[in-house]
């Protein structure tokens, strides 16, 4: 082989190498974007109290206007339930007789819970006037099941009037008896 042909081959080989190098140095353009979202959960909480402004606790002792019930006497009190959560949520409530010893007094009471009612009267005749009955417990029976679901907006409240009465037919054995009546409020969403 001649020196010239070797040079030609060397130049051609160099051209091939330069061609490969040119291909590998091509630039590519890219762009990117990110979409994000902050996720948080709602709170579902109820509070109870005497007025909507103070209904932020989970427990409230209803102030009964007459602690010494006797046959034919009636007493009433208000309780306000407030949605202290971050979303509108329905709630239900149910009555319950608790306390130590016999629950005979609790069973012997007539109890009615009303919405839209006001406390009226005095002495041994304090009642829930007007309104609509949502829950009724008759003397001789326990509380029934929970009420129908009631809507309550976030920050909203509903005042309920709770009336207790001891029928004139109450047994003489109830003298000096005590009991505890509780109203349990429950709010559930997402079920």
How does pLDDT run across 109-136, given as a tens digit for each residue?
A: 999 999 999 999 988 888 999 999 999 9
30 is a domain residue: no
Residues 25-34 have a mean pLDDT of 80
- Per-residue model confidence (pLDDT) at position 181: 84
pTM for this entry: 0.75
Residues 30-52 have a mean pLDDT of 81
* Model confidence band, residue 163 (pLDDT cutoffs 50, 70, 90): very high
Residues 17-44 have a mean pLDDT of 71
Give how many domains the chain has, as a whole number: 1
Q: What is the extent of the structural domain holding 167? A: 46-187
Q: What are phi and psi of 146, to 5 degrees?
A: -65, 155
Give residues with Cβ within 8 angstroms of 120, minimum separation 6: 126, 127, 128, 129
21 is a domain residue: no
23 is a domain residue: no
35 is a domain residue: no
Residues 37-46 have a mean pLDDT of 81
22: left (phi over 0), alpha (psi -120 to 50) or beta: alpha
**Structure tokens, 75:** 């007493």
9 is a domain residue: no
**Residue 108: other Cβ atoms inside 10 A:** 21
Looking up residue 88, the CATH number of its domain turns out to be: 2.60.40
Answer whether residue 50 shows pLDDT above 80: no
- Per-residue model confidence (pLDDT) at position 101: 47
Rg (CA), the chain: 38
150 is a domain residue: yes
Burial 55-90 (b: 16+ CB within 10 A, else e): beeeebebeebbeebeeebbbbbbbbbbbbbeebbe
């Amino acid at each position: 082989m001649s020196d010239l042909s070797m040079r030609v081959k060397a130049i051609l080989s160099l051209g091939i190498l330069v061609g490969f190098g040119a291909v590998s140095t091509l630039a590519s353009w890219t762009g990117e974007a990110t979409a994000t979202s902050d996720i948080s959960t709602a709170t579902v909480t109820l509070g109870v109290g005497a007025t909507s402004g103070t209904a932020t606790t989970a427990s409230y002792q209803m102030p009964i206007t007459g602690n010494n019930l006797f046959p034919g006497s009636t007493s009433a009190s208000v309780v306000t339930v407030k949605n202290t959560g971050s979303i509108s949520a329905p709630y239900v409530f149910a009555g319950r007789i608790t306390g130590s010893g016999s629950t005979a007094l609790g069973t012997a009471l007539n109890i009615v819970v009303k919405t839209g009612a006001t406390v009226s009267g005095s002495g041994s005749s304090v009642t829930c006037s007007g309104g609509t009955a949502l829950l009724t417990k008759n003397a001789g029976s326990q509380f029934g099941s929970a009420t129908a679901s009631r809507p309550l907006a976030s920050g909203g409240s509903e005042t309920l009037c709770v009336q207790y009465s001891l029928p004139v037919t109450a047994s003489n054995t109830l003298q000096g008896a005590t009991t505890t009546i509780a109203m349990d409020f429950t709010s559930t969403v997402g079920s």
